[in-house]
Amino acid sequence: MKTNCRLSSAPLQSSPLFCVYMGALKVATAAGPNNAGSQTPDDSLKSAADFSPYMSPTDPLPASAPQAPQRIRRDSRLDVDLYVPHVYTDELVQIDGDYEYRNEESARLGEGAFGIVFRGRQRRTGRAVAVKKLPTASIKPSELAVMQSLNSPYLVALLDICPTPAMNCTYFVMELCDTDLDHHLTHCAVDRKLSGKNLRTIIENIARGYDVLYDERIVHRDIKPQNILVQYKDSDSVEIRTAKIADFGISRVLEPGADDDQGCAYEYLSNVAGTLSYMAPEVGANLLKTCQYDFQVDMWSIGCVLYQCITGQLPFDERSLCRLFLSAAGGNYDAYDKPELSSSTPEVEAIVSALLEIDTRKRLTPHEFYEMAIELSSSQTLVAEQSN
């Protein structure tokens, strides 16, 4: 059985970029509600060290890895973060009589700012499942209905939703995958780089999964390797059969709105949310001024993920991210230098380059990304057939 591990990066609170974030937050708080130009960052801002949806606590961590992050609750009166650890009782928890999991650390698959995920099972069938426990207050009914309607082999399936009013929480029962892309890159890939075949699978499957989200007007806002779950061809193989987009905890459904000059018929978003290393410039720019955004932010995140899959490294360090956010806030795109990418095929390089455009008008749209990904997959399939 394959297991998962988190990124071995410094906690968000210790990074220079987080200092910028906290400074902007305090300025916005001090300015009061009448300061329309300041954006209070979303509670869903995450560290690169956040747990993945499926992560085994038994997986050995490198010596430089931070301690397990605890869930965070913001106290607006004190402007501080209160860390609320999960209490393991070792008891068997039954949900609606059909699902169960053991509330012990060895059964934990992952933990983040909003919830905790356990390995569980469906009692009626014995099927292994992932059980995610979330505060009911963090769930929007309108968005929940959309999530329930999603049906794609390239999105992690939501099997059941079990509200528990007595505990003020809701359980999401999801399909269980083998591991996540972050773990695969760290433990199964040579130099943390995907093989050509696995890379093409990742590109095509992400494109197909996101195409479904796009049709439903869903902006994910936190696409990263930890939120791409994978299934292997068999238990002894590291060849990826399917990749699935997961963790819709901070996703938003764009609400219908009046057509603007560009013919856009939905309301834009304008708060800070996501994981800094994969955050689009126009999202981070909201630390400084109001910058509206939509699906294009996910295209940037996908570009960062693909760059990492090809090179084994993140495309931007913290200094670069600060410059990106400043450039996006000021509309100064001329100073932007794309990260170099020369270790892939021209077709893949063209896709990643077009995804990492700082100017959203030049960046690939979800539809364009889908078409290029399918064309890439088709051409490679044809080459393979001809070689046989």
Q: From its phi and psi, is residue 331 left (phi > 0), alpha (psi between -120 and 50) or beta?
A: left
pLDDT value of residue 26: 45
C-alpha atoms less than 13 angstroms from C-alpha of 184 in its C-beta half-sphere: 31
Residue pLDDT, tens place only, 309-357: 999 999 999 999 999 999 999 999 998 999 998 778 999 999 999 999 9
Pairing label, strands 218-219, 252-253: antiparallel
The two structure tokens encoding residue 135:
């505060």
Is 107:56 a contact under the CB 8 Å cutoff?
no
CA distance linking residue 226 with residue 50, whole number of Å: 9
Q: Binding site for ATP, residues? A: 133
Residue 215 annotated as catalytic: no
Looking at this protein, which amino acid is placed at residue 122? Q
Residue with tokens 């040579």: 190
Residue pLDDT, tens place only, 352-377: 999 999 999 999 999 999 999 999 98
CA distance linking residue 304 with residue 48, whole number of Å: 13
Residue pLDDT, tens place only, 123-152: 999 999 999 998 888 787 766 777 788 999
The fold adopted by the segment(s) 12-82+177-379 is Transferase(Phosphotransferase); domain 1 (1.10.510)
Q: Binding site, residues? A: 133
Catalytic residue among 50, 178, 180, 222: 222
Q: Rounded to two decimals, what is the model's pTM?
A: 0.79
